[in-house]
Structure 1
Amino acid sequence: MLSRLSVKAVRSQRLYSQSASGAYGNFSRPGRTRTAGPVTLASSAAITAGALLWYSSIKTLHNDASPAELIDKARDDLTIGFDDGALGGVVWGSNNYNLIAPQSPGVESIRTPASAAWLQNAALRDLALHERHAACVDARGDVYQWGDGFFGNSPSSLDAQRSPTLTLRGKHTRPPSQALPHPQPRPGIDQDLSSALNNLLTMLKFYLNMLFTGEKGEFFRPRAMQLFIVISRFVSISAGSDHLLAVTSSGRTFAHPITKNANSHGQLGFRKFDIPAQGSSGRTHVELIPKSVQDPYARSAPYNRQITEKSVQQEVLPDYNDEKLRFSDTLFEIPGLKGITMTQVLAAGRTSFAKTDSGRVLGWGANEYGQIGLGGNVTLDTITVPTEIVLSRTVSSKIRSKCLDIYSGGSLTGFTVERIDERGVRTVDLLMCGNGRWGGLGNNLFSNAQGNPLRAKSVSGLLEYSDKANALRPLVPHALSISPTGHVLLTLDTHEHSGSGGGGRDLLVWGANQTYELGNGKRTSLAAPTNLEKRDGSRVMLMKKTMKVRDMKGNAWKRSEVEQCAVGGYGNTIVYWKIVQ
């Protein structure tokens, strides 16, 4: 039986050799086929190995390539961008909605810092990231937008790349603090002031609508406010999920309802206001009652109850579409802050903050996780009245405390506080409060709620020797970005007192790290500030320099001073070059 099988195998081998010779040409004599077998086999193996080695070293993509091959090619095209020396953005984290790498729509996440091709050789005035879309202002003041929330459905291949698109041109958009100086009084000042306010509110409403709704086709001029008695300009503007805050150069504080949920947690600071009436030129008076006031036992009751008393909001607002620009066209002054001079306002997701000229802070709005910072004894979920936040609760009464800046994102809040003791020694602390479930508090603890602002470790009370003053100076945070999803980016001002030949600014990261948003290649959340490192193990330093700046189209603008700025989005991070005004 075995002999018959061997004979059949030999015959089949001869038939295969003859068919192969007929197909590719007979270059050897039939009699030498058996003796040349081992040599031919070895040669074929060597040629095959060489071909495989050469094929694996190239990155050729074919039209019928699988999605996995396209993703691998796009990921290989992303290279490190911190050391190239030119102006360019660096990104890492989630790319689900094609925000940080629109040129690579197949890449879902970037684990370590990589260069952004769409930000090469460009410096920006400002950049904002939302969950599904983003917007930026280039050197010329033109506004660009991109992301799946702006374009629509996500592209399925690299051929459908969607780079930032110009949506507002020639308006010279700039941060409010860099607005034009006070206009000089002249005849017809009321008309000029009304026109200036119209232009400012038009740009403000349009820009914020792009950030929160992604619309790009609707445009209108809001109603001029009649509340201004003296000539003022906006110096601080901040937008939350559904509301907006603004403060003027004279210290007056205003709020604006963007949607029907603008006062769900009392974040507006008032309830009653008016909106444009539908189908007429009149005004409709409405009242947005916070949920905790409308139904105080909603969260404590074991069943859903029917609210018997209907509010004005339930009766009137269902007929209004708050997704359009014309839902509300006016900024209203906050009654509880009248007569108090403010220098900064900050609108978090559902929380509001305001800082006085003396460095005291007031907060109101959502407080489920203690994100307002009113202390552990305050357990209310909603604060409807602006309430002062005591930032000196954890230090001696002999130490003077003053808030320098406020930062917030999602359910986390940060305060930079200046401390001066009885000897005159000055230090600066970073205080954090709110939801620290993913370590965002920076105190080596994972806490779901923290109502008392506590010092973040490793970045509070630092001193640095100044070459200029030949003395110790406090190491002040230069910038802080808190993302809505819970990761924190801190830029320490290690460049200010470094002297000639000094380096840049240290970038520290901590908090949530579920989609590689911390840039360390891992998915483990960090509960303490940690220096971000490059691939060679050295620290990432954000630089500052003066060079020729170009706009998003690649056209030369002018020579300007620029610095690297880190911004945290929904599970992602962008470091871009920002124009220093």
Structure 2
Amino acid sequence: MLSTRGLSRAALRAPHAPQSWRSMAGRAPPPHVRTATHPYAQRKQRRFARSVVAVTALWATATALQWVVNGNSIMRQVHAEEPPHQEAEPEFKFEAPRRRAKSADENRALISSQHLQVVKSWENPGVYAWGSNAGRAVAPDSDEKYIKTPRRIPYFDGQLLRDIKLDKNFGAAIDERGDLLQWGVAFSKDVTEPTKTLRGQNLTSLAISRDRIVALSSGGTVYSIPVSQSEQNDGPKPKSTSWIPFWGASNNISYRTRTPENLGWSERVTDISSGLEHALMLTSSGRVFSFASGTQDFPSKGQLGIPGLSWENRPAGAFDIPHEITTLKGFPVKKIATGDYHSIVCDSEGRAFTFGDNTAGQLGFPFNAEATSVDAPSLLPTQRLYAGSAAQARVTNVFAGGNTSFLTVDATKADQSRTTADTWAFGFGLTGQLGVGRWIHTCADPIKVPAFSGLFEWDEARHVPIPIRLSTISVGSTHAAAVMDNVASVMVSGRTSKLTDNDTNWGRDILFWGNNEFYQIGSGKRSNVATPTYIQPLDQTAEQERAANAAGVKALREREMHRFQITPRQKVKVNGRNVEFEQKVECGRGCTAVYSAV
């Protein structure tokens, strides 16, 4: 065994030292070893090693680059030899420059989608419809089952209407002259476009039941017309009267007149509304009459508002003679609405009354299994909705459809300092038709609709905030649409008759919600909507052209389309004549229409 005595600690800790000198106790290492262990020599050695590493890395990089260049050259040769049918590399395409507007109005159309929608509705009046087309009510000339997005009915292009109503199996409208038009499978399976039926009566508004049409003339006369064309042709036709003695002739279709007989002097019917089996009539003095509007079943759920009235004990005479709702005497009614089997009215003092079927809580009262309907108008306790708020509630309008009801209420503080406009909903809401953001089977207690409640805007004239109210709600059997009564600034520059460069036409907000089984919401999708939502503009071609001209085709694909804004009432020139009209919405049974209304 070798002895380690006399070796330095450095030597003992250097296992890499050569065996030829590591074992020589007491001897000095060779000269080259002494030089290598000198600090300066160590630094020089490290620099040399780094140089070697750098040179090696550079050589490897150069080799890799040469391989890539050679490989690309080979690939290019291969591509050059491929068949000529393959596409060449795409060239750079620069975005087309924005088209310059030729006029101030065209510039506004490029900038504002709302302005374009309003102008297009003036230039191209007509009817857009969508939803179920099983009965050819939405597209009379098509056999498509669904119309998923708004589509124009060609027959009405360029026409203004007074009213329109849609059922799943038929449609009815009043043209600008006051004549009745009908179409759809329930009217005739052979008719592929709207056909005039009742003429020369100067009709102003419509209501439809399951199988009959109720029409109101400008003079207050109420007509009941069968939906079926064959029944119109084969049924009894009333005699026409003439100022010429002994001169009379039969009308060309069958219909009945249902104007109340005991009206006062200068009193006339001003409004009508119909459910599936019953209809209400409102007179200029605030009286309400009801009658059976269908022929399949007599109203039996209390929706006529006549306590105890049934088919067995009805008065002598025709089954559909009008009855005055005497319970409402002393309450001058100003608004009426009907659902499928229930009714709701409000008077000039802001009180609401409901009657009829209550199986889904659509009367605003708790469901009672022993009494599923109420056959007499009952006061709705609307003040209870604002209990503890020190605000006075006043009902301003009522709306109904299917098994749902809506109230618009003005809630004013005791000191008259502020008024809040709210909307309340109650009834059936399993498919979202209450619009409260939830899926509720039955709702007997009115729920505030957040989308239409507590909204304000700034009044530029008075410099104060004012509540945004609802202009109207159109309630179909399972879905609805609401038009906001927000300020529509048609003329920004004041009372001038000519638009300036800064003037822009604005539409009003319109939102849709509820059941969407037949694409009746108009979004192009089929999912139900529990919260009121916007849809895309009706004229998609014009909107795409506007977006493309304003921001380029690439930007069009990347940006979201603007929402549909409905045109407010305004006097414009149509076909060379000045006419005052607006766009209106109508929700029917599984379908929807927007039309140009005078």
TM-score by length of 1: 0.66
Specify the SS of the correspondent of 1:206.
strand
| 2:163/2:173 contact within 8 Å kept | yes
Is residue 109 from structure 1 mapped to residue 139 from structure 2 by the alignment? no
Moved over 6 A (4+): 197-201, 211-214, 376-379
| C-alpha distance 214-537 of structure 1, shift in aligned 2 (>3 A) | farther
* 2:564 aligned residue (516, 537, 540): 540
| 2:134/2:168 contact within 8 Å kept | no
Aligned partners of 1:170 and 1:198: how far apart in 2? 10
Worse-matched range after superposition: 232-241 or 251-260: 251-260
1:537 is matched by which residue type in structure 2?
M
Q: How does 1:163-562 map to 2 (within 5 A)?
A: 163-175=193-205, 204-207=222-225, 209-210=226-227, 215=232, 218=235, 219-220=237-238, 222=257, 226-258=261-293, 259=295, 261-270=297-306, 288=310, 311=312, 327-328=318-319, 330-375=321-366, 380-397=371-388, 398-423=390-415, 424-484=417-477, 486-496=478-488, 500=492, 501-534=504-537, 537-544=561-568, 545-549=570-574, 558-562=577-581
Give the equivalent residue in structure 1 for 2:132: 94
2:514 is matched by which residue type in structure 1?
G
| 1:111/1:516 contact within 8 Å kept | yes
Aligned partners of 1:118 and 1:224: how far apart in 2? 32
Q: Deviations over 1:414-438 (max 9, x none)?
A: 1111111235211211111111010
1:331 is matched by which residue type in structure 2?
P
Q: Deviations over 1:348-389 (max 9, x none)?
A: 211112211111011110000001112578984211121011
| 1:439/1:511 contact within 8 Å kept | yes
Equivalent residue pairs, number: 423
| 1:267/1:366 contact within 8 Å kept | yes
Aligned partners of 2:529 and 2:328: how far apart in 1? 38
Task: State the Cα distance separating 1:346 from its structure 2 match.
Answer: 2.1
Give the equivalent residue in structure 1 for 2:34: none
Give the equivalent residue in structure 1 for 2:27: none
Give the equivalent residue in structure 2 for 1:69: none
Give the equivalent residue in structure 1 for 2:186: 149
Task: State the Cα distance separating 1:476 from its structure 2 match.
Answer: 1.1
Q: Deviations over 1:82-128 (max 9, x none)?
A: 9574212222211111111112x222112222222122111111111
Aligned partners of 2:218 and 2:592: how far apart in 1? 33
Aligned partners of 1:90 and 1:82: how far apart in 2? 16
| 1:150/1:215 contact within 8 Å kept | no
> Where does the alignment leave 5 or more consecutive residues of structure 1 unmatched?
1-41, 47-79, 156-160, 177-196, 273-286, 290-310, 318-325, 551-555
Aligned partners of 1:450 and 1:251: how far apart in 2? 30
Is residue 575 from structure 1 mapped to residue 594 from structure 2 by the alignment? yes
| C-alpha distance 150-107 of structure 1, shift in aligned 2 (>3 A) | same
Aligned partners of 1:227 and 1:163: how far apart in 2? 40
| 2:359/2:367 contact within 8 Å kept | no
| 1:372/1:451 contact within 8 Å kept | yes
Specify the SS of the correspondent of 1:392.
helix
Aligned partners of 1:217 and 1:421: how far apart in 2? 60
Counting aligned pairs with the same residue, the percent is 27
Aligned partners of 1:329 and 1:513: how far apart in 2? 34
| 1:198/1:224 contact within 8 Å kept | no
Task: State the Cα distance separating 1:267 from its structure 2 match.
Answer: 1.2
Aligned partners of 2:182 and 2:364: how far apart in 1? 35
Aligned partners of 1:136 and 1:577: how far apart in 2? 12
Aligned partners of 2:330 and 2:229: how far apart in 1? 31
| 1:257/1:263 contact within 8 Å kept | yes
| 1:125/1:578 contact within 8 Å kept | yes
Worse-matched range after superposition: 128-137 or 392-401: 392-401
TM-score by length of 2: 0.64
| 1:465/1:497 contact within 8 Å kept | no
| 1:375/1:451 contact within 8 Å kept | yes
Specify the SS of the correspondent of 1:393.
helix
